[in-house]
Structure 1
Amino acid sequence: MEETLTILMATYNGERFIREQLDSIIKQTYKEWCLVIRDDCSKDNTPDIIKEYCLRDTRIKFISGEKNLGPVLNFNELIKDSLSSKYIMFADQDDIWLDSKIEISLKNIKNIEERYGENVPIIAYSKLKYVTEDLKPLNIKNSNPKNKNLRTLLSFNFIWGCTIIANSALINEAYPISKAAQNHDYWLALHAAHKGIIYHIEKETMLYRQHKANVTGGINNRSLKSKIKKINNQFSSYEQQIKQNLNFITKYQEDNNQVLLEYKNILLSDFFIRVIKAYKFSVKKNSLLETIIFYIFLLSKYQKENSKID
């Protein structure tokens, strides 16, 4: 008999696309799954749509949030009630899963466990296909750094939550998700890189819909005003990322991990020394432009007092 796999979905005002996503999960070739959806106080018809699907398919469970938590803590609540699950996948409310997504993901993570053991924290993530809101293909490449390790992850996250499958060992290692976490997937990936294994599945398993309402990954407006706004948003994102990383370093400070110590030392240094150390650490973003913006950020905005944990 097939094992039951848990899928977690955090929703908020997702009425436009959630039906297509739910239909794509129901059509999966692997049938033994349980989908748990927690709605974060939507103001549209998202809860009613979810309830409709719960009546149609008993594998779908609905949790109505009492207050708006935001996507990170919404997923944290879902994880809290799923710690006994052997495998967990995460679904966005607006994408479409290809029919064999679960089957492919589960096969790969089981193969890794057979090799390294079930007690090793593992995250496996697949490729995705970028599409417009009406599902037309976009010429956007998946992020695929050569070194998929902790050093790279401290620089930028290359793992999208909607593509991953995680085993119980990873979920229990990473829970609870810190309030400082930039995203739930980033937090899980850091733990896998430090304590376990990251594995890349070289297959597209889903359509990653791009639209203006995306929480992450939306299509960028190319106007000058938009670009200036994007830089400001980028600086705020870097501040949040650094807080997350320092929170992670504090969690594992007794490990005396050299990579974590080097990263923290960068932030405790002054201005140009900070930039030199960041360069030696090989701090790079997903593109040359983003890398330049980050180094400008280190010089002009980030201050050592920001390195304190809230």
Structure 2
Amino acid sequence: LLANKSLLGFNHVIACFCDQDDVWVKEKLELQLERYLQIEGCDSKPVLVHSDLEVVDQNLDNVADSFIAYQGLEIERNRFPHLVVSNLVTGCTALFNEALLDAALPVPKNAVMHDWWFAMTATAFGELVFIPSPLVRYRQHGRNTIGAKQRENSEATGRGLVRRFLSLEH
């Protein structure tokens, strides 16, 4: 969270999700903040900027250059009707503003994943922006909560998450 906003010359509150086992590329925040500031009305509506990831093993050796390609995701489907059934935002790539924090919090107890909830809230009430460059090295190991799955392995997991999401109490 950028706490001392006056040092940056603007009055935006910016936050990111950060997983302790993933590695941000050096330019991640700079590139995301630059893209965020290009969005018209970025300070008055919920905005989430996310990126692709490089999939790496526990030793940071490359597994796949693109998480999106590795999982067979269709990023052009990054719109609310599609996000209701399939999350395309990985939390450790997300940068978002105070308006999204206000709109998305508190995350419902029955929400499948916090990053999915933030993505749906951004698309429903503001803007979701994708940067195609991998800005995070997404470390895969035996303790990943979800992890990267090649397309043929990800479909069964996706069906289970959809069933869980559709069972949310309203």
Secondary structure, in 3 states, of the residue corresponding to 1:105?
Answer: helix
User: 5+ residue gaps in structure 2?
Assistant: none
User: Residue in 2 aligned with 1:116?
Assistant: 41
State how far apart, in whole Å, the 2-side matches of 1:116 and 1:126 are. Answer: 21
Supply the AA of the counterpart residue of 1:5.
L
State how far apart, in whole Å, the 2-side matches of 1:152 and 1:196 are. Answer: 16
Q: 1:196 to 1:219 in 2, by over 3 A?
A: closer
Secondary structure, in 3 states, of the residue corresponding to 1:152?
Answer: helix
If the length of structure 1 is used for normalisation, what is the TM-score?
Answer: 0.46
Matched, 1:196 2:126: yes
- Structure 1 stretches of 4+ with a deviation exceeding 6 A read none
User: Residue in 1 aligned with 2:27?
Assistant: 100
Supply the AA of the counterpart residue of 2:38.
N
State how far apart, in whole Å, the 2-side matches of 1:217 and 1:199 are. Answer: 22
Identity of aligned residues (%): 26
User: 5+ residue gaps in structure 1?
Assistant: 7-31, 33-84, 245-308
Supply the AA of the counterpart residue of 1:203.
S
State how far apart, in whole Å, the 2-side matches of 1:146 and 1:219 are. Answer: 20
1:178 to 108, 120, 127: 108
1:207 to 137, 145, 155: 137
1:152 to 82, 86, 96: 82
1:239 to 129, 153, 163: 163
The Cα of 1:147 is off from its aligned counterpart by 2.8
State how far apart, in whole Å, the 2-side matches of 1:101 and 1:182 are. Answer: 26
Q: 1:109 to 1:242 in 2, by over 3 A?
A: same
Matched, 1:5 2:21: no
Cα pair 2:52 2:67 within 8 Å, conserved: no
Cα deviation, 1:31-78, whole Å, max 9, x if unaligned, reads x8xxxxxxxxxxxxxxxxxxxxxxxxxxxxxxxxxxxxxxxxxxxxxx
Q: 1:234 to 1:167 in 2, by over 3 A?
A: closer
Secondary structure, in 3 states, of the residue corresponding to 2:100?
Answer: helix
Larger radius of gyration: 1
User: Residue in 1 aligned with 2:16?
Assistant: 89
1:132 to 50, 54, 57: 57
Cα deviation, 1:272-305, whole Å, max 9, x if unaligned, reads xxxxxxxxxxxxxxxxxxxxxxxxxxxxxxxxxx
State how far apart, in whole Å, the 2-side matches of 1:125 and 1:141 are. Answer: 12
Secondary structure, in 3 states, of the residue corresponding to 1:155?
Answer: coil
The Cα of 1:134 is off from its aligned counterpart by 1.1
Secondary structure, in 3 states, of the residue corresponding to 1:211?
Answer: coil
Cα pair 1:210 1:219 within 8 Å, conserved: no
